[in-house]
Amino acid sequence: MEDVARRAGVSTATVSRTLRGLPNVSADTRGRVLAAAAELSYVVSPIASRLASRRTHTVGVVVPHAARWYFSKVVAGAEEVLREAGLDLLLYSLGDLSARTRFFDQLPLRRRVDAVLTVAMPLTEPEYEAVHTLGVPVVATGLRATGTHCVRIDDTGVMLTAVEHLAGLGHRRIGMISTYADQSMWLPVAHERRAGYLAGLAVTGLPVEPDLVVSVPFGVSGGERAMRRLMERPDPPSAVVAESDELAFGAVAAARRMGLAVPGDVSVVGIDDHDLSDVMDLTTVRQEVVEQGVQAGRMIVRAVQHPGEEPRELVLPTSLVVRGSTAPVAGSSP
């Protein structure tokens, strides 16, 4: 920077101001500085500038599992807008429980970030407090959050939509594939979607049969297991809603492997509109995952610029996508 200053015939302070686009630099000076910087192909050292300005220009993004479809989409969406805003993104993938406890114990984000983005991470009370000792704004995606900004979808609503769709096709006995807490992650979402399922039954006047809800670990193989459990019953349901498309994929596969036709013998609907849902011909309720990341990124940027604003909540719309995995119930009037 000193070289640039010398070449432009100004002080380093002026170079600094110019390069950061501060207003109180004359056009003439600005030109000389920019020229000098270009000639020397100089870029400021972000590290030095962070130390001096006491801002990290970094946001911590913590996800349960970076490689999963949902999370990688959200992260990709957020990455784009954060980079645009000049913020670095520090990814923490918590993976298993031990990584999670270590993370919240040691809080490696201390002194490293200006904001935190949690992606579908329900925080326990102590975890919540731990994060807040960082003293930086927090934005949550993927679930309802209190006390922080958040962007999410209507998790009960999506399930309600799914059930209504099936009921509209004449299905009277609808099973649900739910998940149980894998390390207490996702818990609230599972809960809300289950509530949506129940609400759907209520709205359409169907009876609740608790045995028709089976809970499995998240993932394709969980979906398979759940489907098998449902369809091996003496009185299997004629339709099944799954908490997510990946579970639904497993369900469809399991049904076919059991010799059942989808949707002939059983209809299946998922939630997400996963990249492969079209290929699987899966009826689903679409959510815009990348968009959630983008919006979360915008919230982060706002929060970094104006800390201490009222927590804002953004609920993104969803929509039913009807494909070939659902059909009128067998035996209904043609």
Partner DNA sequence: CCGTGCTTTGCAAGCGCTTACATACAGAGG
Partner DNA sequence: CCTCTGTATGTAAGCGCTTGCAAAGCACGG
Q: Which stretches of the chain bind a second copy, using CB under 8 A?
A: 43-48, 50-51, 56, 65-67, 69, 72-73, 75-77, 79-80, 83, 88-93, 95, 110-112, 220, 224, 249-250, 252-253, 275-276, 278-281, 290
Nearer to DNA, 29 or 204 (CB): 29
Strands 283-287, 318-321: pairing is antiparallel
Determine if the peptide bond prior to 263 is cis (ω within 30°): yes
| Separation of alpha carbons 324 and 320, rounded Å | 13
Select the binding partner of residue 143 from DNA, a second copy, none (C-beta < 5 to 8 A, by kind).
Answer: none
- Is 112 one of the binding residues for DNA (CB under 7 A)? no
Using a 10 angstrom Cβ sphere, with 0-12 exposed, 13-18 middle and 19 or more buried, the burial of residue 295 is buried
- Name which position in 40, 52, 76, 261 contacts DNA (CB under 7 A): 52
Nearer to DNA, 53 or 101 (CB): 53
Token pair belonging to 118? 């949690």
What single letter denotes the amino acid at residue 189? V
Judged by phi (left if over 0) then psi (alpha if -120 to 50, else beta), residue 219 lies in: left
- Name which position in 6, 31, 48, 209 contacts DNA (CB under 7 A): 48
Distance of CA 219 to CAs 40, 69, 179, 207, Å?
53, 11, 9, 28
Nearer to DNA, 17 or 152 (CB): 17
Nearer to DNA, 11 or 106 (CB): 11
CB of 253 to a second copy, least distance (A): 4
Give the footprint of DNA on this chain (CB under 7 A). 1-2, 9-14, 16-17, 19-20, 23-26, 28-29, 42, 44-45, 48-49, 51-54
